[in-house]
Amino acid sequence: MIWDELETRLTQLAAEGLVRRRRTLDSPCGPEAVIDGRRLIAFCSNDYLGLANHPALIAAVQEAAARWGVGSGASHVVSGHLHPHEELEQRLAAFVGRERALYFTTGYMANLAVAPTLVERHDAIFADRLNHASLIDAAQLARAEHIRYPHGDLATLADYLKSNRARRKLILTDAVFSMDGDLAPLPELLELAERFDAWLVVDDAHGFGVLGPGGRGSLAYFDLPPSPRLILMGTLGKAAGVSGAFVAGDHRVLEWLMQRARPYIFTTASSPVIAAALLTSLELIAAGDDRRAHLQALIARLRNGLAGLPWRLIPSLTAIQPLIIGENQAAVALAEQLLIRGLWVPAIRPPTVPTGTARLRISLSAAHSEMQIDALIAALRECATLRPSPAKGEGAPVNRC
Protein backbone atom coordinates (compact mmCIF):
# COMPACT_ATOMS: atom_id res chain seq x y z
CA MET A 1 0.00 0.00 0.00
CA ILE A 2 1.19 3.52 -0.73
CA TRP A 3 0.59 4.50 2.90
CA ASP A 4 2.95 1.76 4.09
CA GLU A 5 5.65 3.11 1.79
CA LEU A 6 5.27 6.58 3.26
CA GLU A 7 5.45 5.15 6.78
CA THR A 8 8.66 3.30 5.90
CA ARG A 9 10.23 6.39 4.42
CA LEU A 10 9.28 8.51 7.43
CA THR A 11 10.81 5.92 9.74
CA GLN A 12 13.98 6.02 7.67
CA LEU A 13 14.14 9.81 7.98
CA ALA A 14 13.92 9.48 11.75
CA ALA A 15 16.69 6.85 11.81
CA GLU A 16 18.94 9.14 9.79
CA GLY A 17 18.31 12.12 12.07
CA LEU A 18 16.56 14.04 9.30
CA VAL A 19 13.08 14.62 10.74
CA ARG A 20 12.14 18.28 10.96
CA ARG A 21 10.14 19.46 13.94
CA ARG A 22 8.02 22.58 14.08
CA ARG A 23 7.91 24.55 17.30
CA THR A 24 4.95 26.83 18.04
CA LEU A 25 5.90 30.21 19.43
CA ASP A 26 3.76 32.07 21.93
CA SER A 27 5.65 35.33 21.38
CA PRO A 28 6.44 37.71 18.50
CA CYS A 29 9.58 37.29 16.43
CA GLY A 30 12.52 38.61 18.44
CA PRO A 31 15.73 37.70 20.25
CA GLU A 32 13.68 35.76 22.79
CA ALA A 33 10.98 33.19 22.10
CA VAL A 34 8.37 31.62 24.36
CA ILE A 35 7.74 27.95 23.56
CA ASP A 36 5.66 25.65 25.77
CA GLY A 37 5.84 28.22 28.53
CA ARG A 38 9.65 28.47 28.41
CA ARG A 39 11.46 31.66 27.48
CA LEU A 40 14.44 30.92 25.25
CA ILE A 41 17.18 33.03 23.71
CA ALA A 42 16.61 32.49 19.99
CA PHE A 43 19.35 32.33 17.37
CA CYS A 44 17.04 31.06 14.64
CA SER A 45 15.38 33.87 12.74
CA ASN A 46 16.57 35.96 9.79
CA ASP A 47 15.29 39.16 11.43
CA TYR A 48 18.80 40.59 11.13
CA LEU A 49 17.99 44.18 12.09
CA GLY A 50 15.37 43.36 14.73
CA LEU A 51 12.54 45.06 12.82
CA ALA A 52 9.93 42.28 12.78
CA ASN A 53 8.22 43.59 15.91
CA HIS A 54 9.19 47.27 15.59
CA PRO A 55 6.52 49.71 16.87
CA ALA A 56 6.77 51.83 13.72
CA LEU A 57 5.91 48.86 11.52
CA ILE A 58 3.00 47.91 13.76
CA ALA A 59 1.67 51.47 13.56
CA ALA A 60 2.07 51.46 9.76
CA VAL A 61 0.06 48.24 9.52
CA GLN A 62 -2.72 49.61 11.72
CA GLU A 63 -2.98 52.82 9.71
CA ALA A 64 -2.87 50.99 6.37
CA ALA A 65 -5.54 48.49 7.41
CA ALA A 66 -7.90 51.34 8.25
CA ARG A 67 -7.18 53.03 4.90
CA TRP A 68 -6.80 50.09 2.47
CA GLY A 69 -8.35 47.07 4.17
CA VAL A 70 -6.43 43.80 4.37
CA GLY A 71 -6.84 42.09 0.99
CA SER A 72 -5.92 43.08 -2.55
CA GLY A 73 -8.63 40.98 -4.17
CA ALA A 74 -6.85 40.03 -7.41
CA SER A 75 -3.48 39.68 -9.11
CA HIS A 76 -1.41 42.76 -9.81
CA VAL A 77 -2.25 42.64 -13.52
CA VAL A 78 -6.02 42.47 -12.95
CA SER A 79 -7.15 44.79 -10.16
CA GLY A 80 -4.92 43.99 -7.17
CA HIS A 81 -2.18 46.58 -7.71
CA LEU A 82 -3.00 49.21 -5.09
CA HIS A 83 -1.23 52.50 -4.49
CA PRO A 84 0.94 51.13 -1.62
CA HIS A 85 2.24 48.45 -4.01
CA GLU A 86 3.12 51.03 -6.66
CA GLU A 87 4.83 53.32 -4.17
CA LEU A 88 6.76 50.40 -2.71
CA GLU A 89 8.08 49.32 -6.11
CA GLN A 90 9.22 52.85 -6.93
CA ARG A 91 10.92 53.21 -3.55
CA LEU A 92 12.62 49.82 -3.83
CA ALA A 93 14.03 50.63 -7.27
CA ALA A 94 15.40 53.95 -6.03
CA PHE A 95 16.77 52.35 -2.85
CA VAL A 96 18.87 49.77 -4.72
CA GLY A 97 19.72 52.13 -7.60
CA ARG A 98 17.95 50.24 -10.41
CA GLU A 99 15.52 51.48 -13.04
CA ARG A 100 12.49 49.49 -11.95
CA ALA A 101 11.31 46.91 -9.42
CA LEU A 102 8.48 44.39 -9.12
CA TYR A 103 7.11 43.28 -5.76
CA PHE A 104 6.42 39.56 -5.21
CA THR A 105 4.58 37.78 -2.42
CA THR A 106 7.58 35.63 -1.44
CA GLY A 107 11.24 35.26 -2.31
CA TYR A 108 10.63 31.72 -3.54
CA MET A 109 8.05 33.03 -6.02
CA ALA A 110 10.37 35.80 -7.15
CA ASN A 111 13.14 33.33 -7.90
CA LEU A 112 10.75 31.00 -9.72
CA ALA A 113 9.74 33.96 -11.87
CA VAL A 114 13.09 35.20 -13.15
CA ALA A 115 15.10 32.38 -14.73
CA PRO A 116 12.17 30.56 -16.40
CA THR A 117 11.02 33.84 -17.94
CA LEU A 118 14.42 34.76 -19.35
CA VAL A 119 15.66 31.37 -20.61
CA GLU A 120 14.11 28.15 -21.92
CA ARG A 121 15.01 25.03 -23.88
CA HIS A 122 18.27 25.32 -25.85
CA ASP A 123 19.52 27.92 -23.35
CA ALA A 124 21.87 27.29 -20.40
CA ILE A 125 21.88 28.20 -16.71
CA PHE A 126 25.20 28.20 -14.82
CA ALA A 127 24.48 27.88 -11.11
CA ASP A 128 26.65 27.82 -8.00
CA ARG A 129 26.43 24.38 -6.41
CA LEU A 130 25.42 25.86 -3.04
CA ASN A 131 22.54 27.96 -4.36
CA HIS A 132 19.30 28.12 -2.39
CA ALA A 133 16.60 25.53 -3.13
CA SER A 134 14.42 28.15 -4.84
CA LEU A 135 17.19 28.87 -7.35
CA ILE A 136 17.64 25.16 -8.01
CA ASP A 137 13.91 24.77 -8.60
CA ALA A 138 13.89 27.84 -10.85
CA ALA A 139 16.64 26.34 -13.01
CA GLN A 140 14.74 23.08 -13.34
CA LEU A 141 11.50 24.89 -14.14
CA ALA A 142 13.20 26.84 -16.91
CA ARG A 143 13.86 23.59 -18.82
CA ALA A 144 17.21 25.01 -19.91
CA GLU A 145 20.45 23.07 -19.55
CA HIS A 146 21.34 23.27 -15.85
CA ILE A 147 25.10 23.37 -15.27
CA ARG A 148 26.29 23.56 -11.66
CA TYR A 149 29.80 24.80 -10.99
CA PRO A 150 31.77 24.16 -7.75
CA HIS A 151 31.05 26.74 -5.08
CA GLY A 152 32.74 30.03 -5.96
CA ASP A 153 34.96 28.40 -8.60
CA LEU A 154 35.37 31.17 -11.17
CA ALA A 155 37.89 29.31 -13.32
CA THR A 156 35.58 26.35 -13.80
CA LEU A 157 32.64 28.65 -14.48
CA ALA A 158 34.66 30.51 -17.12
CA ASP A 159 35.51 27.21 -18.81
CA TYR A 160 31.85 26.17 -18.81
CA LEU A 161 30.75 29.50 -20.27
CA LYS A 162 33.44 29.46 -22.93
CA SER A 163 32.71 25.93 -24.15
CA ASN A 164 28.91 26.13 -24.07
CA ARG A 165 27.08 26.96 -27.31
CA ALA A 166 23.65 27.76 -25.88
CA ARG A 167 21.57 30.52 -27.49
CA ARG A 168 21.26 32.40 -24.21
CA LYS A 169 23.28 32.03 -21.03
CA LEU A 170 22.35 32.92 -17.45
CA ILE A 171 24.57 32.88 -14.35
CA LEU A 172 22.55 32.23 -11.20
CA THR A 173 23.90 32.81 -7.71
CA ASP A 174 23.14 33.71 -4.13
CA ALA A 175 24.88 36.88 -2.97
CA VAL A 176 25.16 35.65 0.63
CA PHE A 177 24.90 31.87 0.87
CA SER A 178 22.21 31.04 3.38
CA MET A 179 23.88 28.07 5.09
CA ASP A 180 27.53 29.20 4.93
CA GLY A 181 27.20 32.97 5.29
CA ASP A 182 29.92 33.71 2.73
CA LEU A 183 29.65 36.15 -0.17
CA ALA A 184 29.68 35.33 -3.86
CA PRO A 185 32.44 37.06 -5.89
CA LEU A 186 29.93 39.35 -7.57
CA PRO A 187 32.37 41.71 -9.37
CA GLU A 188 34.11 38.74 -10.99
CA LEU A 189 30.77 37.13 -11.88
CA LEU A 190 29.61 40.32 -13.55
CA GLU A 191 32.85 40.45 -15.53
CA LEU A 192 32.24 36.88 -16.73
CA ALA A 193 28.67 37.78 -17.64
CA GLU A 194 29.95 40.70 -19.71
CA ARG A 195 32.66 38.62 -21.36
CA PHE A 196 30.35 35.76 -22.35
CA ASP A 197 27.19 37.81 -23.01
CA ALA A 198 25.17 36.24 -20.16
CA TRP A 199 22.53 37.37 -17.73
CA LEU A 200 23.65 37.57 -14.08
CA VAL A 201 20.82 36.92 -11.60
CA VAL A 202 21.73 37.63 -7.97
CA ASP A 203 19.63 36.50 -5.00
CA ASP A 204 20.42 38.98 -2.22
CA ALA A 205 18.05 37.51 0.36
CA HIS A 206 20.60 37.70 3.17
CA GLY A 207 22.49 40.84 2.14
CA PHE A 208 19.65 43.30 1.61
CA GLY A 209 19.29 45.62 4.60
CA VAL A 210 22.53 44.41 6.18
CA LEU A 211 25.39 44.93 3.74
CA GLY A 212 26.49 47.99 1.82
CA PRO A 213 26.07 51.72 2.49
CA GLY A 214 22.67 52.37 4.04
CA GLY A 215 21.89 48.64 3.97
CA ARG A 216 21.36 48.71 0.21
CA GLY A 217 22.69 45.19 -0.12
CA SER A 218 25.44 43.15 -1.69
CA LEU A 219 25.56 45.03 -5.00
CA ALA A 220 26.17 48.25 -3.08
CA TYR A 221 28.70 46.46 -0.85
CA PHE A 222 30.73 45.65 -3.97
CA ASP A 223 29.88 49.04 -5.55
CA LEU A 224 28.53 47.38 -8.69
CA PRO A 225 27.03 49.84 -11.19
CA PRO A 226 23.69 49.19 -12.88
CA SER A 227 23.92 46.92 -15.91
CA PRO A 228 21.14 45.75 -18.25
CA ARG A 229 22.34 42.17 -17.77
CA LEU A 230 22.39 42.33 -13.93
CA ILE A 231 19.13 41.35 -12.21
CA LEU A 232 18.71 41.65 -8.46
CA MET A 233 16.31 39.73 -6.24
CA GLY A 234 15.94 40.78 -2.61
CA THR A 235 13.69 39.37 0.08
CA LEU A 236 11.74 41.53 2.50
CA GLY A 237 10.99 38.99 5.23
CA LYS A 238 14.49 38.95 6.66
CA ALA A 239 16.34 42.19 7.45
CA ALA A 240 13.29 44.20 6.36
CA GLY A 241 11.26 42.44 9.04
CA VAL A 242 8.03 41.94 7.06
CA SER A 243 7.45 39.60 4.08
CA GLY A 244 7.65 39.41 0.32
CA ALA A 245 10.43 40.05 -2.17
CA PHE A 246 11.33 42.19 -5.15
CA VAL A 247 13.16 41.91 -8.44
CA ALA A 248 14.98 45.00 -9.70
CA GLY A 249 16.95 45.90 -12.80
CA ASP A 250 16.68 47.27 -16.31
CA HIS A 251 13.18 48.56 -17.15
CA ARG A 252 12.93 46.30 -20.22
CA VAL A 253 13.70 43.20 -18.18
CA LEU A 254 11.14 44.15 -15.55
CA GLU A 255 8.48 44.85 -18.14
CA TRP A 256 9.10 41.42 -19.68
CA LEU A 257 8.77 39.81 -16.23
CA MET A 258 5.50 41.64 -15.61
CA GLN A 259 4.17 40.45 -18.96
CA ARG A 260 5.34 36.85 -18.86
CA ALA A 261 6.38 35.68 -15.36
CA ARG A 262 3.76 33.16 -14.29
CA PRO A 263 4.39 33.46 -10.50
CA TYR A 264 3.69 37.19 -10.83
CA ILE A 265 0.71 37.05 -13.17
CA PHE A 266 -1.20 34.13 -11.73
CA THR A 267 -1.31 34.88 -8.01
CA THR A 268 -3.26 37.31 -5.85
CA ALA A 269 -1.26 40.38 -4.93
CA SER A 270 0.01 40.61 -1.38
CA SER A 271 -1.95 42.64 1.16
CA PRO A 272 -1.57 46.41 0.84
CA VAL A 273 -0.98 46.38 4.59
CA ILE A 274 2.29 44.51 3.99
CA ALA A 275 3.37 47.01 1.34
CA ALA A 276 2.67 49.91 3.70
CA ALA A 277 4.72 48.27 6.44
CA LEU A 278 7.60 47.80 4.02
CA LEU A 279 7.60 51.47 3.11
CA THR A 280 8.25 52.23 6.77
CA SER A 281 10.82 49.44 6.95
CA LEU A 282 12.82 50.97 4.12
CA GLU A 283 13.08 54.19 6.14
CA LEU A 284 14.34 52.27 9.17
CA ILE A 285 16.86 50.35 7.06
CA ALA A 286 18.23 53.55 5.52
CA ALA A 287 18.62 55.08 8.99
CA GLY A 288 19.92 51.84 10.51
CA ASP A 289 23.70 52.34 10.61
CA ASP A 290 23.72 51.98 14.40
CA ARG A 291 21.86 48.67 14.13
CA ARG A 292 24.28 47.38 11.51
CA ALA A 293 27.29 48.48 13.57
CA HIS A 294 25.89 46.69 16.64
CA LEU A 295 25.28 43.56 14.57
CA GLN A 296 28.87 43.57 13.31
CA ALA A 297 30.13 43.96 16.88
CA LEU A 298 28.06 40.96 17.94
CA ILE A 299 29.42 38.90 15.05
CA ALA A 300 33.00 39.70 16.10
CA ARG A 301 32.19 38.93 19.75
CA LEU A 302 30.73 35.54 18.86
CA ARG A 303 33.59 34.56 16.57
CA ASN A 304 36.21 35.54 19.14
CA GLY A 305 34.34 33.67 21.86
CA LEU A 306 34.05 30.44 19.86
CA ALA A 307 37.71 30.33 18.83
CA GLY A 308 39.39 27.05 19.70
CA LEU A 309 36.27 24.90 19.93
CA PRO A 310 36.41 21.37 18.47
CA TRP A 311 33.83 22.29 15.83
CA ARG A 312 34.64 24.37 12.75
CA LEU A 313 33.19 27.86 12.54
CA ILE A 314 32.96 28.77 8.84
CA PRO A 315 34.50 32.16 7.96
CA SER A 316 31.62 34.64 7.60
CA LEU A 317 31.30 38.40 8.00
CA THR A 318 27.50 38.17 7.91
CA ALA A 319 24.82 37.44 10.51
CA ILE A 320 24.87 33.78 9.44
CA GLN A 321 27.46 31.96 11.55
CA PRO A 322 27.56 28.22 10.76
CA LEU A 323 29.21 25.84 13.24
CA ILE A 324 29.99 22.58 11.44
CA ILE A 325 29.34 19.50 13.58
CA GLY A 326 29.44 16.82 10.88
CA GLU A 327 27.16 13.91 11.73
CA ASN A 328 23.38 14.45 11.75
CA GLN A 329 22.63 12.97 15.16
CA ALA A 330 25.54 14.85 16.72
CA ALA A 331 24.21 18.16 15.44
CA VAL A 332 20.73 17.35 16.74
CA ALA A 333 22.14 16.29 20.12
CA LEU A 334 24.10 19.51 20.48
CA ALA A 335 21.06 21.61 19.56
CA GLU A 336 19.01 19.74 22.17
CA GLN A 337 21.62 20.37 24.84
CA LEU A 338 21.58 24.06 24.04
CA LEU A 339 17.79 24.01 24.27
CA ILE A 340 18.05 22.51 27.76
CA ARG A 341 20.24 25.49 28.63
CA GLY A 342 17.63 27.93 27.32
CA LEU A 343 19.21 28.57 23.90
CA TRP A 344 17.41 27.85 20.64
CA VAL A 345 19.84 27.20 17.78
CA PRO A 346 18.65 25.08 14.84
CA ALA A 347 20.47 21.97 13.65
CA ILE A 348 20.65 22.04 9.85
CA ARG A 349 21.04 18.68 8.08
CA PRO A 350 20.92 17.24 4.56
CA PRO A 351 19.44 17.84 2.08
CA THR A 352 19.66 21.50 3.10
CA VAL A 353 23.45 21.11 3.43
CA PRO A 354 25.81 18.50 1.94
CA THR A 355 26.07 15.11 3.63
CA GLY A 356 28.62 15.10 6.43
CA THR A 357 28.31 18.85 7.09
CA ALA A 358 25.37 18.96 9.52
CA ARG A 359 25.68 22.15 11.50
CA LEU A 360 24.28 24.64 13.92
CA ARG A 361 23.19 27.69 11.96
CA ILE A 362 23.68 30.53 14.43
CA SER A 363 21.69 33.52 13.19
CA LEU A 364 22.40 36.85 14.86
CA SER A 365 20.25 39.96 15.05
CA ALA A 366 20.85 43.57 15.95
CA ALA A 367 18.20 42.96 18.60
CA HIS A 368 20.50 40.56 20.48
CA SER A 369 22.49 41.84 23.43
CA GLU A 370 26.12 41.15 24.33
CA MET A 371 24.90 39.15 27.34
CA GLN A 372 22.87 36.87 25.09
CA ILE A 373 25.90 36.26 22.85
CA ASP A 374 28.00 35.51 25.91
CA ALA A 375 25.40 33.01 27.14
CA LEU A 376 25.63 31.12 23.85
CA ILE A 377 29.44 31.13 23.96
CA ALA A 378 29.46 29.81 27.52
CA ALA A 379 26.98 27.03 26.71
CA LEU A 380 28.91 25.85 23.66
CA ARG A 381 32.16 25.86 25.60
CA GLU A 382 30.50 23.81 28.33
CA CYS A 383 29.26 21.30 25.76
CA ALA A 384 32.73 21.10 24.26
CA THR A 385 34.21 20.05 27.62
CA LEU A 386 31.63 17.26 27.88
CA ARG A 387 32.45 15.95 24.40
CA PRO A 388 34.09 12.50 24.67
CA SER A 389 37.59 11.94 23.32
CA PRO A 390 37.94 9.48 20.43
CA ALA A 391 39.39 6.08 21.15
CA LYS A 392 42.75 5.32 19.56
CA GLY A 393 42.37 4.68 15.84
CA GLU A 394 38.84 6.10 15.68
CA GLY A 395 37.66 9.12 13.77
CA ALA A 396 36.04 12.24 15.11
CA PRO A 397 33.71 11.45 18.05
CA VAL A 398 29.98 11.93 18.01
CA ASN A 399 28.94 14.80 20.25
CA ARG A 400 26.85 13.59 23.20
CA CYS A 401 27.08 16.63 25.41
Residues belonging to the active site: 178, 206, 238
Q: Concatenate the DSSP letters of all residues of 103-115 into one string.
A: EES-HHHHHHHHH
* Residue 59 CB coordination number (10 Å): 12
Answer whether 226's CB lies under 8 Å from 197's CB: no
C-alpha distances out from residue 221 to 94, 155, 211, 389, Å: 16, 23, 6, 43
C-alpha to C-alpha distance for 143 and 119, rounded to whole angstroms: 8
Helix 370-385 × helix 289-305 angle, to 10°: 20
Give the strand order in the sheet containing 320-326: 312-313, 320-326, 358-363, 347-348
Contact between 380 and 338 under an 8 Å Cβ cutoff? The reply is yes
Using the Cα atoms of residue 297, residue 298, residue 299 and residue 304 in order, give the sign of their dihedral. positive
DSSP secondary-structure letter at 353?
A: S
Kindly report the backbone phi and psi dihedral angles of residue 336, in degrees, each rounded to the nearest multiple of 5, phi listed first: -65, -40
